[in-house]
Amino acid sequence: MNNKTENTTCRFCGIPDDHPRMMIKGQKGFVLWDRNPASDGHCVAIPYRHFDNYFDINDEEVDELWSLVKQAKQIIEEKYHPDGYNIGINVGESAGQSVFHLHIHIIPRYKGDVENPRGGVRGVIPDKKLYS
């Protein structure tokens, strides 16, 4: 792996190149199939460098991570043929972050996977999901 820093207590640090969930390897980051997927094709883009907050990312990392998101989408399209996507980043415990190493969720969505998908990511605050 290139450009990696490690935190020995972090589940994303030190992932080997041949990990069974490895999807894509880049210079600044990688993509893993999610170990607890919300839907078929759910994966996460992760920088090698250990830091928790998206707002601490450097320009080179941000460029590559968003490129990895696009590459992952192409693979998901070919394998699963979803109808849409939610892309998300949890920043801080109050926002639901439970793994404190930045990662970008790529969650494929399928017609009928929820009764009413309106509001999408706004659903993280259920009372604010539906609006007029």
Q: Where are the domains of the chain?
A: 22-112
Give the pLDDT confidence score for residue 2 in this predicted structure.
46
Using CB atoms within 10 Å of the CB of residue 55, give its burial: 0 to 12 exposed, 13 to 18 middle, 19+ buried.
Answer: exposed
Q: In what order do the strands lie in the sheet with 43-47?
A: 22-25, 29-33, 43-47, 104-109, 84-88
Top pLDDT among 127 and 45 is at 45
**Structure confidence by residue, pLDDT tens digits, 80-89:** 999 999 999 9
Residue 1 has pLDDT above 50, yes or no: no
Percent of the chain with pLDDT over 70: 95
Rounded to two decimals, the pTM is: 0.92
- Return the active site residues: 103
Residue 25 has pLDDT above 80, yes or no: yes
Q: Which CATH class is domain 22-112?
A: alpha beta
Please check whether residue 49 is in contact with residue 116, taking contact to mean a CB–CB distance below 8 angstroms: no
DSSP character at residue 94? G
